Structure 1
Amino acid sequence: MSGRYAGKTVVVTGSGKQKGLGQGILQRFADEGAHCVVSDLAIGEEEEAVAEELRGRGAEVATIACDVSDAAQCQALVDQTVEAFGAVDIFVNNAGIGFMMKPLLDVDPADWATVIGVNLSGAFYCTQAAARAMVASGKGGRIINIASQAAKTAFPHLPAYVSSKHGMIGLTRASAVELGAHGITVNAVCPNHVTTGLGAQQNEYFSKLLGFETVEAYIANMSTKNPMGRPGLASDTAAACAWLASDDAFYVTGEAINVSGGEEMH
């Protein structure tokens, strides 16, 4: 298959859900010729359907289950990818939990640990495993962390999520400092709200919290506050990932790039 990423392999965690952000990222890479690894907590009918859609775009696809909160499973994900395709060229830390929405004073320690375990520790475990393979290959690579507008700005009722995403920016920078010598760049993408399955849960919660009569009214209000006049799309984040993985972005590392239509500017 031809394309900018022909012969390259991309792994995206948390990518097995229909209309999810991970699926959107893989679709972009599939369209540009990459081998794709669909990974999620479990591989079932929905995850296989995501893989089959990518095959329809001409991509070679593997499906690999991975609980990113388990370091051993993250290492196995990378090992199985190398076994299937020979290398890990691009690794996207996309798996995340954002549906535990409670006031700060009501957050249970177990809920806090679960969110941090997936969103931050999971990104660390996968970064470490992917970087080991990239260093061993001697060819460098790209690691891309899907952070959030919540990595730059705090939001109510999301203390663990906001903290984990701020921490992901620190992980991005710390990784970039150490891995640059190996030709590995590490960057973060910070999207504003994208109405995926996770985003829909947040829409429902915050529309009620903020007193909107309907979810549609909440989304319309969100759009009016955005300079570009709409919430984000999965394709917006995917385009940023495709650029960061390209040769054009080789000298860009340690950055946290907003993809927010101007909603977030720092």
Structure 2
Amino acid sequence: MPETARTDHVALVTGANHGIGAAVAKALAARGVAVLCTYLRESGEEATDDYRRARSAGGEAVVEEIREAGGRAASLEADLSDPAAPAALFDAAEHHLGAVDILINNASGWIQDSFAPRPADRFGRPLRAVTAETWSRQFAVDAMAPALLISELSRRHRARGATWGRIVGLTSGGDLGFPGEVSYGAAKAAQTDYTLSAAAELADLGITANVVHPPVTDTGWITDEVREFVASSGTHFHVATPDEVARAIVFLTSDDAALVTGNIITLR
């Protein structure tokens, strides 16, 4: 990653210890943006070994790679299900890097629940019934945390008289929800609604807000069965890499995307 000119922009990227989040953090840093990489180490017991190792990693390796290329970055572990986490993350970013003006809501508390649970789905991943616990765990990270992070960005942005900002959220699901991952799909739908509301309500602050719906992305959980499914699907065109998705997200944070706001952008 070549050295690039430093900008005054500071990004907060959640779930930045692996996958799309790590790729976005590195791509932003390559454009001169300082990045706070937040993460929560998890066991990922439902996933493949590669995915489990990725989710259980800290954020230090991503930060070190950014710094070795001449960028600025810091990492902080945080449980986004804690309502106090958003304010603490913004405080940390301001202390180490400066005021945040780019927010990437990437982290997920992914859990696979269903109204008609079976022992496993078509890819061999275990299913469980929808319960208060699965709902709470999913919505706390994928809906509540993004809403509170957007609110924190808005409050601080307005208080310091800032006139430029970018919000990008990530979503998933389809026209019929997300069968087999119903709470995940519903929480992502809630995050989408929050983000589109932000596009309308924060436009006067120079903030754009968009949602990206990535294609199936190889963040370590892809199996041969998944690749076969994508290849035979009429609606899934590619198994993308995290870097490919990151390039689209980073474009939305650029000056060139100043008129792109209030959109759900589907990548295929």
Give the structure-1-normalised TM-score.
Answer: 0.82
From the superposition, tell whether residues 146 and 229 of structure 1 become closer, same or farther in structure 2 (CA, over 3 Å): closer
Query: Which deviates more from structure 2 when the two are superposed, residues 133-142 or residues 74-83?
Result: 133-142
Q: Which amino acid aligns with 1:172?
A: T
Q: Which amino acid aligns with 1:164?
A: A
| Structure number having the greater helix percentage | 1
Name the counterpart of 2:231. Answer: 223
Name the counterpart of 1:95. Answer: 107
Q: Is the 8 A contact 2:114 2:181 kept in 1?
A: yes
Instruction: Give the CA deviation at 1:228.
Output: 8.2
Counterpart check, 1:160 vs 2:183: yes
Counterpart check, 1:147 vs 2:171: yes
From the superposition, tell whether residues 152 and 81 of structure 1 become closer, same or farther in structure 2 (CA, over 3 Å): farther
Q: Deviations over 1:103-152 (max 9, x none)?
A: 2142121111110111001111111112222222322311111122x165
Q: Is the 8 A contact 1:104 1:158 kept in 2?
A: no
Counterpart check, 1:66 vs 2:74: no
Alignment of 1:89-128 (within 5 A): 89-98=101-110, 100-105=111-116, 106-128=129-151
From the superposition, tell whether residues 27 and 224 of structure 1 become closer, same or farther in structure 2 (CA, over 3 Å): farther
Q: Secondary structure at the match of 1:46?
A: coil
Instruction: Give the CA deviation at 1:66.
Output: 1.9
Q: Which amino acid aligns with 1:60?
A: R
Q: Which amino acid aligns with 1:6?
A: T
Q: Is the 8 A contact 2:230 2:236 kept in 1?
A: no
Name the counterpart of 2:200. Answer: 177
Instruction: Give the CA deviation at 1:222.
Output: 0.8
Q: Which amino acid aligns with 1:36?
A: V
Which of residues 247, 250, 259 in structure 2 aligns to 1:251? 259
Q: Which runs of 5+ in 1 are unaligned?
A: 204-214, 262-266
Name the counterpart of 1:206. Answer: none
Alignment of 1:127-138 (within 5 A): 127-138=150-161
> Percent identity over the alignment?
28
Q: Deviations over 1:20-55 (max 9, x none)?
A: 110011111111111111111269963211211221
Q: Secondary structure at the match of 1:91?
A: strand
Instruction: Give the CA deviation at 1:15.
Output: 0.7
Instruction: Give the CA deviation at 1:154.
Output: 2.6
Q: Is the 8 A contact 1:89 1:141 kept in 2?
A: yes
Q: Is the 8 A contact 1:152 1:166 kept in 2?
A: no
Q: Is the 8 A contact 1:42 1:66 kept in 2?
A: no
Q: Deviations over 1:69-101 (max 9, x none)?
A: 222111110111112222112110111022x22
Q: Which amino acid aligns with 1:115?
A: Q
CA RMSD of aligned residues (A): 2.2
Q: Which runs of 5+ in 2 are unaligned?
A: 43-55, 117-128
Give the structure-2-normalised TM-score.
Answer: 0.82
Q: Secondary structure at the match of 1:22?
A: helix
In the alignment, the residues of structure 1 paired with residue 196 and residue 60 of structure 2 have an alpha-carbon distance, to the nearest angstrom, of 34
In the alignment, the residues of structure 2 paired with residue 32 and residue 127 of structure 1 have an alpha-carbon distance, to the nearest angstrom, of 23
Q: Which amino acid aligns with 1:68?
A: L
Count of aligned positions: 240
Q: Is the 8 A contact 1:68 1:126 kept in 2?
A: no
Q: Is the 8 A contact 2:196 2:262 kept in 1?
A: yes
Q: Which runs of 4+ in 1 moved over 6 A?
A: none
Query: Which deviates more from structure 2 when the two are superposed, residues 104-113 or residues 87-96?
Result: 104-113
Q: Is the 8 A contact 1:194 1:234 kept in 2?
A: yes
From the superposition, tell whether residues 50 and 145 of structure 1 become closer, same or farther in structure 2 (CA, over 3 Å): same
Name the counterpart of 1:29. Answer: 28
